[in-house]
Structure formats: C-alpha cells, structure tokens
C-alpha cells in the first residue's frame, strides 16, 4: 500500500520539478528577453532601488546613524522590502495572466506563484550579494559578522513573503478591489517593516508593538547577522515562522477554492 | 477510458447564474471517436475543457484512465508573445519529450518555415491550428480533444490531419466538437448531443445528426 503511494508522490514531485523549470525559463524569456544581459535584469531593479535610495539618504543624513553606516543600513532594509513589494504585485491577477497555460493539466496554479516568487527571490539575493560585495570593497558595508544568521533572516523573510503571495493571488481573483489596495498596503506597511529603524532605537512600548510584525523580526535577524554585537537586535524567530504557517494555510485553502471556479478563456 | 460521472457546471457572475451542463454522463472507450453536437452556447467547449482538466466541474467526477491531449481549439495552450519554437520547447519540456524530435516533427508537419521564429500572436488561426496539432501529434496521446479547430485549415492541412490522425493513429480515441456534419459522418462512430445542458449519447451517428439538425 505504502509503496505505490510513495511512487505516486515521487512521480508527482518529478513532474512538478520539470514544470517549474519550464515555467521559469518561459517567465524569464517573456519578461527579460534574450537581448543584452538577459535574465540578469532580475537583479537590476532591487539593485537600483537600494543603491539610489541609499545614496539619497547618505547625502541627507550623513555617513552614520546610531553608529551604523547609513548606506549599508538602507541597503540591508531595501533589498528585503523590494522582494516583498514585487512578490505582492506580481501575485495580483497571476492566474488570469497565465490562464492559457492551464490547458496543460500537469501545471498547477501554485506553480505560477512559486515561479514568480522564485524569480523575485533570486533577483533579490543576487542583487544583495552584488551590491554588498561592491560596498565591502569600498568599506561602506561590513563583512557580515554572522553570515548564517543573515541568511536565516533572509529565508524567514522570504518564506513569510511567499505565504502572503499565496493569499494575495487568489484574493485578487475573487475581488478586483484588491488590486487597488495593494500599492497602499505596501506603502502603509513600510514603518512596520523595520526598513528605516532598529527595534533598539525605539521606546520599549513601541518596540513591543513593532515586534509583533514578522518582517521586523526577520529584519532584526538579518541586521544582527551583518553587524553582530555592534548593534542590539530584538527578535523571536518563531514569530515569522508561525505567521508564515498561518498565512500559508489560509492562502492554500483560498487557492483551492478559487481553482474550482476559475474560468479559462 | 475517460468517464464523465454526473457532471454539473454552473457559471456565476455576480448574481447571475448559468447552468451550462446538467448531470452529464458518458464514457469514451479506447479507439472511440465521439462527436459533440449542439448549437452555439450549448456547452460543447465547456465540456471539452472539463474533460481536459482546464476547468473543474461544479460537481461530478471525471475519471481518466488514458492520456489525453489538451483541448485543441482557437485559444489556449500557447503563449502569444513567445515564438513557435519557444512554445514547442516549452511543451516538450512539460510533457517530458525530447525537444529535437518534437521540433523536427513540427517543422515537417506545419510547413511554417521561418514563421516558427515569430511570436505566435502574429499567426493566423490556420497557422495556430497547424502548430497546436503538430505539437499534440508529436507528444502522442491516447485521446485527442478537438474543439472545431481541425476544420479551419486549408486542403493541404486537412489532408495531413487525415493521414496522421485517421490513418496512422486509427486506434486512438477522439472527442470532436464540430458543426460540420460531413466531417462527423466521416470520422465519428458515436455522438453526444448537447441541448439545454442535457447530454444524450447515440451509438448511431446519423440518428444524432438528424436530431441535431432539428434543434
């Protein structure tokens, strides 16, 4: 009994890997084409965003804030939030824009979300490594004190973002109003994302509230990974993990519901 | 075999509800060539999409014991902004086929030549039909789901389809939605007439065609 079930699972996994691989290539070719730098464009946007904002802040606020380099601080905040913003906006109407692919039964709707998210994730990660390496050479970015913690923080941030994408994608299908709210929501959440502040710079009450946000917890992890004991970080790794599990459960249920009523031209 | 069990399909938009299919039951056995008949809007394309798994029935079940093509119709299955070759490569990948052999077959069957390097959105419906057909023949399925498209091509295309589908692949099953009575009389050995959401199966194609003409 167990053996055929396992074989079925293994076979399903093999098919999904193939499908995701094919969809990735298709998405990269349709989005970036084969001209000039091709798929390397995926890291240009996060790079430009982080680089330009950091430069502006450098001229507005001087080289340091609370003892950390302002350029490095802004870069470390902007790359993750770009992942979140892009992940959200690319999940809107994702089923409609891929509907012609649903003619092939081995392609599941979750594959669309995975593929777009993986592309944003890789773009963000590559952009991060690229800009940090350059800044390290110019002594504007510290060599990460604890690279494992930095990567762990980035991973939980990404997992939470993905679980939010699982909710946004089906919701945008159910209600078109959703699309209008996304830019506002992503803007409103900037203060709750830990982008411009560290928890230790705040009053204890404020800090307590802010640490409910999974983004802040993940961001604090990443920053401790970068600056080590030069800063004080507050986080609980279980916050983003539990929030992700809850959001993903809701999201997967919504996806299942939407798939049943999805109309394909 | 492909078996449809008590299929219901209801589309709703706001407060509007439309029941397109009502308790549809029928089987497609290996080698059977089933004609789907019905007036415009009777639910032929919807039924083909449900069988192909593109959309899911509101209730009921579809059991599939043989492989089937994706619904071959005027839309769907392709990415318009990609070239013919890119689409072929994509399909070869997701169906786990060797791209080289798929490409060779597509080039030979479609006779589209350099057009295959152009985005599919620039193709005419006849050219799309050629490409869709070539790909589904290159992959090889037990059952072909055809939504009208076979009849849009020119003489040369029809001759090729005839050769590939009705001679070389005689033993395959097929579901063909069409309004062309001649084609159905020629190719099909079973018919399903859809009227007001209700499907009736006829073993005798001529009888089904008479009923369809009277609708």
pLDDT for residue A1: 53
Asked if B93's CB is within 8 angstroms of A21's CB, the reply is yes
Size of the A and B interface in Cβ pairs below 8 Å: 63
pLDDT score of B78: 85
- pLDDT reading at B66 higher than 60: yes
Q: What is the pLDDT of residue A2?
A: 66
- Taking CA atoms, what residue in B is nearest to A20? B94
pLDDT category of residue B33 using cuts at 50, 70 and 90: very high
Query: What pLDDT was estimated at residue B68?
Result: 95
Of A213, A177, A238, nearest in space to A80 by CA:
A213
Residue numbers of chain A with a pLDDT score lower than 70: 1-2
Residues of B in contact with A106 (CB under 8 A): 94-95
The CA–CA distances, whole Å, from A95 to A84, A243, B10 equal 19, 25, 20
- Closest-CA residue of chain A to B78: A100
Q: What is the mean pLDDT of residues B11-24?
A: 90
Instruction: Check residue B81 and give its pLDDT.
Output: 85
Count of beta carbons in the 10 Å neighbourhood of residue A258? 17
Q: In whole angstroms, what is the distance from residue B46 CA to residue A87 CA?
A: 33
| Facing B54 at nearest CB: one of A103, A260, A261 | A103
Shortest Cα distance, chain A CAs vs residue B89, angstroms: 9
pLDDT band at B167 (very low <50, low <70, confident <90, very high): confident
Which residue in this structure is represented by tokens 């009705």?
A: B166
- Please list the alpha-helical segments (H only) found in B8-124: 44-52, 84-94, 99-110
Question: Averaged over B195-203, what is the pLDDT?
Answer: 93
**What letter would DSSP give residue A176?**
T
The matching CATH number, chosen from 3.40.50.300, 3.40.190.10, 3.40.630.40, 3.30.565.10, for B27-57+64-69+142-215 is 3.40.50.300
pLDDT at B150: 67
- ipTM for the complex shown: 0.90
Under the phi-then-psi rule, with left for phi > 0, alpha for psi from -120 to 50, and beta for the rest, what region is B90? alpha
B115, pLDDT greater than 90: yes
Over residues B94-107, the pLDDT tens digits come to 999 999 999 999 99
Contact A79, A71 (CB under 8 A): no
Confidence (pLDDT) at B149: 72
State pLDDT tens for residues B133-143: 899 999 989 99
Binary contact (A262, B53; C-beta < 8 A): no
Q: How far apart are alpha carbons B199 and A247 in whole angstroms?
A: 43
Residues in chain A: 265
Q: What is the pLDDT of residue A154?
A: 97
* Domain range summary for chain A, segments of one domain joined by +: 19-261
Phi-psi region of B200 (alpha: psi -120 to 50; beta: other; left: phi over 0): beta
Take residue B209 and report the two structure tokens written for it.
Answer: 């065609």
- How is residue B211 annotated by DSSP? H
- Residue reference for tokens 């069957």: B109
Measure A261 CA to nearest chain B CA, in Å: 7
């Amino acid at each position: 009994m167990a053996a055929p079930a396992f074989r079925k699972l293994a076979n399903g996994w093999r098919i999904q890997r193939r499908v995701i691989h094919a969809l990735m290539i298709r998405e990269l070719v349709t989005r970036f084409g084969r001209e000039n730098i091709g798929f390397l464009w995926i890291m240009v946007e996060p790079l430009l965003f982080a680089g330009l904002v950091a430069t502006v802040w450098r001229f507005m606020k001087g080289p340091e804030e609370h003892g950390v380099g302002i350029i490095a601080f802004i870069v470390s905040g902007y790359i993750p939030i770009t992942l979140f913003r892009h992940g959200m906006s690319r999940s809107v109407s994702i089923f409609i824009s891929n509907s012609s692919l649903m003619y092939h039964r081995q392609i599941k709707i979750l594959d669309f979300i995975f593929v777009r998210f993986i592309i944003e994730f890789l773009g963000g990660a590559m952009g991060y490594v690229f800009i940090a390496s350059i800044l390290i050479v110019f002594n504007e970015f510290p060599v990460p004190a604890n690279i494992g913690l930095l990567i762990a923080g980035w991973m939980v941030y990404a997992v939470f973002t993905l679980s939010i994408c699982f909710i946004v994608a089906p919701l945008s299908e159910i209600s078109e109003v959703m699309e209008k709210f996304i830019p506002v929501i992503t803007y409103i959440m900037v203060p709750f994302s830990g982008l411009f502040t560290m928890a230790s710079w705040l009053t204890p009450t404020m800090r307590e509230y802010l640490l409910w946000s999974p983004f802040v917890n993940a961001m604090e992890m990443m920053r401790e990974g970068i600056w080590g004991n030069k800063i004080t970080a507050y986080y609980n790794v279980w916050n983003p993990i539990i929030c992700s599990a809850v959001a993903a459960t809701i999201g997967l249920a919504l996806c299942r519901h939407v798939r049943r009523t999805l109309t394909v031209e | 075999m492909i078996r449809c069990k008590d299929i219901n399909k209801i589309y709703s938009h706001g407060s509007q509800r439309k029941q397109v299919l009502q308790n549809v039951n029928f089987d497609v056995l290996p080698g059977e060539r089933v004609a789907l008949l019905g007036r415009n809007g009777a639910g032929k394309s919807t039924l083909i999409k449900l069988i192909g798994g593109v959309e899911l029935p509101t209730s009921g079940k579809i059991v599939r014991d043989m492989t089937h093509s994706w619904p071959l119709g005027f839309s769907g299955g392709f990415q318009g902004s990609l070239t013919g070759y890119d689409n072929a490569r994509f399909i070869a990948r997701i169906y786990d086929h060797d791209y080289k052999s798929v490409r060779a077959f597509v080039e030979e069957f479609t006779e589209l030549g350099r057009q295959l390097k152009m985005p599919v959105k620039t193709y005419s419906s006849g050219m799309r039909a050629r490409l869709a057909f070539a790909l589904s023949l290159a992959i090889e399925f037990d059952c072909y789901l055809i939504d009208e498209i076979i009849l849009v091509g020119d003489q040369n295309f029809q001759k090729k389809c005839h050769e590939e589908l009705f001679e070389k692949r005689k033993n395959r099953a097929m579901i063909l939605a069409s309004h062309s009575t001649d084609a159905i009389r020629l190719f099909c050995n079973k018919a399903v007439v859809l009227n007001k959401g209700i499907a009736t199966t006829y073993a005798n194609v001529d009888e089904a065609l008479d009923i369809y003409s009277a609708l």
